[in-house]
Amino acid sequence: MIVDYHTHTDLCKHAEGGAEEYVQNAIALGLDEVGCSDHAPMPDNYDERHRMSLEQYYSTYAPTVSELAEKYKKSIVVRRGVEVDFFPGTGGWVKKFIDENDFDFVIGSVHFVGSRGSEKALIGQDYKEEEVEDLHEEYFEAIKASAESGLFDIIGHCDLIKKFGRRSGKRIDEALREALKAIRKADLCIEINTSGLRRPEREPYPSERILAAAKELRIPLTLGSDAHKPADVGGGFDIAVRLIEKYGNGRFCLFDKRERREVKVSALKPA
């Protein structure tokens, strides 16, 4: 069994191609399931440059995913997912949105940190060397809060912050440990997100150091490419499968209507 649970579409304004092209590429790769998980709408024009509107969700995204699931059901299981931003103050709106829709899974991701009053984007941003240390701590604190929010099934790219340079140290390591403990306590899974392989980090999210800590806590895994173009579906999955073997005892999570089950991972068949 092999799946890609993290794919985007052009509705989010920074990805290429419609959902159908992602699904078709997943079929071509022989994946068993593909999850559409584009950036969810958010309240109050929050980062509207990187997401669909609520109107587009209902008029386009939701019906498209349902149609694709039906159209391709003999070839692949199409799951309806969404990647939701975790940001303080938006939880009530987000909960209502999630409850109103029959998602198979919900990925919770931190793309902005704002726990100390000022909102800092992790997208398209350069930070001064001296800011990066604090940013790491704030990022893992936000991951912890996202796990405790009760909103999500999967914690997305849980060390995205390393794109500004890897940091460790007492404060950061402690914040990371607390985040992982919260993920365990909330019984969530983390994704092996291969998009880091396509970026200067040159390794999946999260790093092996974090995967080793997650394994100790028995945090289950799932799998996604975070494709922002159809050609990236399943990208780097040879590496991801090895990581699941090593840190997930060869098992990862599937979702159906937000019910989770664990299955054995299999290698991506060469095309």
* Interface positions with Zn ion (CB under 5 A): 226
Site for Fe ion in 207-226 (CB under 5 A): 226
Site for Fe ion in 159-178 (CB under 5 A): none
Strand duo 154-155 + 3-7: pairing:
unpaired
Q: How far is the CB of 5 from Fe ion (least distance, A)?
A: 10
HEC profile of 233-253: CCCCHHHHHHHHHHHCCCEEE
User: Pick from Zn ion, Fe ion, none: which does 153 bind, CB < 5 to 8 A by kind?
Assistant: none
- The nearer residue to Fe ion, 109 or 194, going by C-beta atoms, is 109
Q: Is 85 an interacting residue with respect to Fe ion (CB under 5 A)?
A: no
- The nearer residue to Fe ion, 147 or 215, going by C-beta atoms, is 147
CB atoms within 10 A of CB 196: 22
- DSSP line for 62-120: HHHHHHHHHHTTTT-EEEEEEEEE--TT-HHHHHHHHHTS--SEEEEE-SEE-TTSS-E
Helices (H), the chain: 19-28, 54-56, 62-71, 91-99, 129-148, 170-185, 208-216, 237-247
Q: How far is the CB of 12 from Zn ion (least distance, A)?
A: 6
Q: How far is the CB of 83 from Zn ion (least distance, A)?
A: 5
Q: How far is CA 68 from the centre of its chain?
A: 21
Q: Which two tokens stand for residue 92?
A: 């009530």
User: Pick from Zn ion, Fe ion, none: which does 225 bind, CB < 5 to 8 A by kind?
Assistant: none
Q: Is 191 an interacting residue with respect to Fe ion (CB under 5 A)?
A: no
Q: Which of 20, 21, 83, 153 binds Fe ion (CB under 5 A)?
A: 83
Give dist(CA 234, CA 107) in Å, integer.
17
Q: How far is the CB of 208 from Zn ion (least distance, A)?
A: 20
How many of the chain's residues bind Fe ion (CB under 5 A)? 3
C-beta nearest to Zn ion: residue: 226
Distances (CA, A) of 249 to 31, 187, 190: 20, 17, 14
- The nearer residue to Zn ion, 12 or 177, going by C-beta atoms, is 12
Q: How far is the CB of 15 from Zn ion (least distance, A)?
A: 6
Q: How far is the CB of 35 from Zn ion (least distance, A)?
A: 12
SS3 4: strand
Give dist(CA 231, CA 15) in Å, integer.
11
- The nearer residue to Zn ion, 33 or 226, going by C-beta atoms, is 226
- The nearer residue to Zn ion, 83 or 129, going by C-beta atoms, is 83
Strand duo 120-121 + 112-113: pairing:
antiparallel
Q: Which of 7, 9, 109, 225 binds Fe ion (CB under 5 A)?
A: 109
- The nearer residue to Fe ion, 51 or 144, going by C-beta atoms, is 51
Where on the chain is the footprint of Fe ion (CB under 5 A)?
83, 109, 226
